[in-house]
Every structure is written in C-alpha cells, then in structure tokens.
Amino acid sequence: MFTIYPAIDLKGGRCVRLTQGRADAATIYRDNPAEVAGEFAAAGAAWIHVVDLDGAFSGSPQNAAAVAAIAKVAPRMQLGGGMRTREAVAAALAAGVSRVVIGTKAWEDEAFLREVAQTHGDKIAVGIDARDGFVTIKGWVEKTATRAVELAQKAEALGVRTIIYTDIATDGMLTGPNFAALTELLGAVRCQVIASGGVSKLEDITKLAALAKQHAHLDGVIVGKAIYEGRVNVAEALAAVR
C-alpha cells in the first residue's frame, strides 16, 4: 500500500516549515507538534515523518522533549536531523521512534552506516537530500560532489532497506515533485524508496501512487507544506490512494 507520511519539522520545539531548507525562511505553523501529530493520527495516517531541524543544523538532536511527546501519539514515526552517533540513534529508538533517518553521517562514514544498518535493520533509513542531482549535507548547507544515485546504491549495498529521497529545489515550493530524478533513483536501487519535496496538491500524490504501480519499491511520499497551507487534506489523500 502506498504510504503518505505527513511531516512535522521541529525548530525550537515548534512545528515549522522551511523553504528549500533555508533556516532563514522558516514559517511557524503550530506551537504544539504533538497536537499536530495527534490530528494526523486521527485522520488515519499510519506514519508521521519528523525532522529535528535544529539537530540537522547543529549536528546533534535538539528537540528531544517534542520528539518524545510526538512518539506517544503517533502510530509510527520516523525521525531525522542530527542522527550522527550510535548514541543518538539508540536514544531515538528508546524514545519510541520506529525508524531513524541517517543523513549527513551516511555520506561521511561508511563504517558507521554499515554498523547501524546491521544492528537495527529496517529501523534505519538513509535520507538523501539532493540539489541538481548531488548530495547536500549538514542541514542542506553543503553540496558534495557525490551523486544521489551513487549514495543510494552504496547505502543499499551496506544493508540499508529504506531511502528517503528529497529534491531540495522543489522542497517547500509547492511546484510538484521532481519525477525525473525520482524515476532515475528508482531505476538504480531495489530497496524501499520514499519520495519527498514539492507536493502541492492531491494530484501530485495520486501521480506518485501511480508511479508506485510501475515501481513497487516506491513506498510512499512525505507531505509537509501542502498540508499546512490547506492544499492537501490528509484523510482525503489517504482515501485517494487506498
């Protein structure tokens, strides 16, 4: 079944959204992230995608209290942002997180990625954030010379079972997903892929669900700003792809 992952981005304990990952382009939507998570769960969401933006920029988790509160009401949640040590990964899982997303560290440290993938299995995902096809790290502020497809193939070879692919150029822009880049990635790996970035309307989601019929390992899509701007209703979206 195609999964819709409503997103909660945390900054200073509040629910915000950034535009193209820029910290100076934050819009505060709600003061109580756990309340938002509860609304997503009530609408029928099976998963909630959470990003600790402060953690992504600083390199270590910064919103532990908000994460713990969300975990109490979320059916299942995946968490990224600042997950760069074994201790951070273990603490997140102990707090009730179902899947930890490794971003910057997946690019920096192959041995670390292999170890956490082998230790935690499908509780580990790699978040690949790309600009113009190249991996971007440290809260999207540093662009590397590594192609997103290359990192995805390496992660899969190391035992990672889920990749979250975010196209930075479309993220928060409400212009539609980058289908060409996503299709290229789907052709390069066989592990589970979650799309992220650019969803602006229900039709974007149903188009991705149709793509998943051609590529069974396209697991779902993360939807953020479109929900907060009232362009996508979670319950309606879930019904549309069911």
Write out the catalytic residue numbers. 9, 129
- How far is residue 172's CA from residue 227's CA, in Å, rounded to a whole number? 11
Q: What is the 3-state secondary structure (H, E, C) of the chain?
A: CCEEEEEEEEECCEEEEEECCEEEEEEEEECCHHHHHHHHHHCCCCCEEEEEHHHHHHCCCCCHHHHHHHHHHCCCEEEECCCCCHHHHHHHHHCCCCEEEECHHHHHCHHHHHHHHHHHHHHEEEEEEEECCEEEECCCCEEEEEEHHHHHHHHHHCCCCEEEEEECCCCCCCCCCCHHHHHHHHHHCCCEEEEECCCCCHHHHHHHHHHHHHCCCEEEEEECHHHHCCCCCHHHHHHHHC
Amino acid letter, 43: A
In sign, the C-alpha dihedral spanning 148, 149, 152, 153 is negative
